Amino acid sequence: MSTNPPPGPGAPGPGRGPGYGPDFGAGGVGRRLEEAIELIEMELRHAAAYVNDAVIPEVRRESISAMRKVADTLKNLADRMDARASGTTGGQTNGPGDPRR
């Protein structure tokens, strides 16, 4: 245990003084970190804008197209079920040789 008092706020010591702290080196690490953070934020804004402007509209278009295809398929299935329930097959025979019977 040391009998010396702890160093004051500006005194050199571990983690203090030249070579330490946010302004280490030419240009300062703190400043470089701030610049890097600004660049990252800018890239994130660009990525978000791209997703909003290009990706989302394309996904919507493709989803709408897929839903229309599913709706057509379901309509055709319902029509076939109605035809089978009423005993007609829409022009096709449903005789003893028909495997759909």
Q: What is the pLDDT of residues 54-98, one digit of tens each?
A: 999 999 999 999 999 999 999 999 999 999 999 865 555 555 555
Report the alpha-carbon distance of residue 4 to residue 71 in Å, rounded. 83
What pLDDT is attached to residue 93? Answer: 53
What pLDDT is attached to residue 39? Answer: 97
Residue type, 92: Q
Residue at 12 is within a domain: no
What lies within 8 Å, CB to CB, of 79 at 6+ separation is: 90
Q: Give the residue, 59 or 25, on which the prediction is more confident.
A: 59
Report the alpha-carbon distance of residue 11 to residue 5 in Å, rounded. 12
Residue at 96 is within a domain: no
**In the chain, how many domains are there?**
1
Report the alpha-carbon distance of residue 75 to residue 78 in Å, rounded. 5
Q: Give the residue, 10 or 77, on which the prediction is more confident.
A: 77
Residue pair 60/52 in contact (Cβ under 8 Å)? The answer is no
What pLDDT is attached to residue 100? Answer: 54
User: Burial of 83 by CB count in 10 Å (0-12 exposed, 13-18 middle, 19+ buried)?
Assistant: middle
Domain membership of residue 65 as a residue range: 26-88
What pLDDT is attached to residue 73? Answer: 97
What pLDDT is attached to residue 87? Answer: 84
Q: What is the pLDDT of residues 26-37, one digit of tens each?
A: 568 889 999 999
Beta bridge partners of 13: 16
pTM: 0.47
